[in-house]
Amino acid sequence: MKIHIPKLKHTESGNFFLMAGPCAIEGEEMAMGIAEELVRISDRLQIPLIFKGSYRKANRSRKDSFTGIGDEKALKILAKVGQTFDIPTVTDIHETHEAAMAAEYVDVLQIPAFLCRQTDLLIAAAQTGKVVNIKKGQFLSGESMKFAVEKIQESGNNNVILTDRGNSFGYSDLVVDFRNITIMRGNQVPVVMDVTHSLQQPNQSSGVTGGRPALIETIAKAAIAVGADGLFIETHPEPLTARSDGANMLPLAELEGLMRQLIRIREAIR
């Protein structure tokens, strides 16, 4: 399923597209270094790439958790990544007033899973004219996401992506119901599997989210096999030193090998 995303390359390759980057923008040097490697991989393998980075983390368990380096500073770094490498960028927004602000710097606005039912936020994002990527709430079925799509489309914007990131399983774990990929594709919009967030172990007693990164390959392969249009993968050169969500990120050095495996699966099912 096609969608117009400015600067998105390699769309005729037949490959899935990739949203990838660090959880949060920690600084310019880090963001540019990751982007450079992602572009090298995506150009070599002909994978359409959208660079991902949060300019601010609003959903944190503890008050002392890292939330960002400053909104404007981080957004300017995202803009520089897009301009330097001529690639689209995506970041998440949390309140209605952030939609127009973030739209000045990035190509895709992302609605966090826990906010996917916030009507005013969805409408504000839609009205910017940017592509809107809505993450499915951990508490929702795939069927229920049709209403989120309708909110965007009825606001005059047909550029919608839906992303699955697993469903709550008890208090401190998530599971992936791969039926949701097929179900959400029934809305005639691209559907993405958020591989790394679906392996989170939230609500830990320490106040720091855990994860199961050893299963990234498993979730990614299954998602491509059932027809996901794209993958969302947070990656970092050294996840253990990342200031946000390091417990479930993929080491950057392992990304190309995984992509090669996934391309073979994509070719097999086409």
Give percent of the chain above pLDDT 70.
Answer: 91
Cβ proximity of 2 and 17 under 8 Å: no
Mean pLDDT value across residues 204-214? 65
∠ Cα 106 111 113 (to 5°): 145
Residue with tokens 């993405």: 192
Cβ proximity of 164 and 176 under 8 Å: yes
Question: When comparing pLDDT for 68 and 131, which is higher?
Answer: 131
Q: Picking from 42-46, 147-151, 226-230, 238-242, which range would have the lowest pLDDT averaged per residue?
A: 238-242
Under the banding of pLDDT at 50, 70 and 90, the label for residue 185 is: very high
Under the banding of pLDDT at 50, 70 and 90, the label for residue 64 is: low
Compute the distance between CA of residue 190 and CA of residue 196 in angstroms, rounded to an integer: 19
Q: What is the pLDDT of residue 71?
A: 93
Under the banding of pLDDT at 50, 70 and 90, the label for residue 119 is: very high
Average pLDDT of the chain, as a whole number: 92
Question: When comparing pLDDT for 29 and 170, which is higher?
Answer: 29
Under the banding of pLDDT at 50, 70 and 90, the label for residue 60 is: low
Mean pLDDT value across residues 172-197? 96
Q: Picking from 218-227, 242-251, 256-265, which range would have the lowest pLDDT averaged per residue?
A: 242-251
Measure CA of the first residue to CA of the last residue in the chain; give whole Å: 14
pTM: 0.93
List phi, psi (to 5°) of 235: -140, 155
Mean pLDDT value across residues 91-113? 97
Taking alpha carbons only, the member of 3, 49, 13 closest to residue 233 is 49
Q: What is the pLDDT of residue 213?
A: 78
Structural domains of the chain ordered from first start: 18-269 (3.20.20.70)
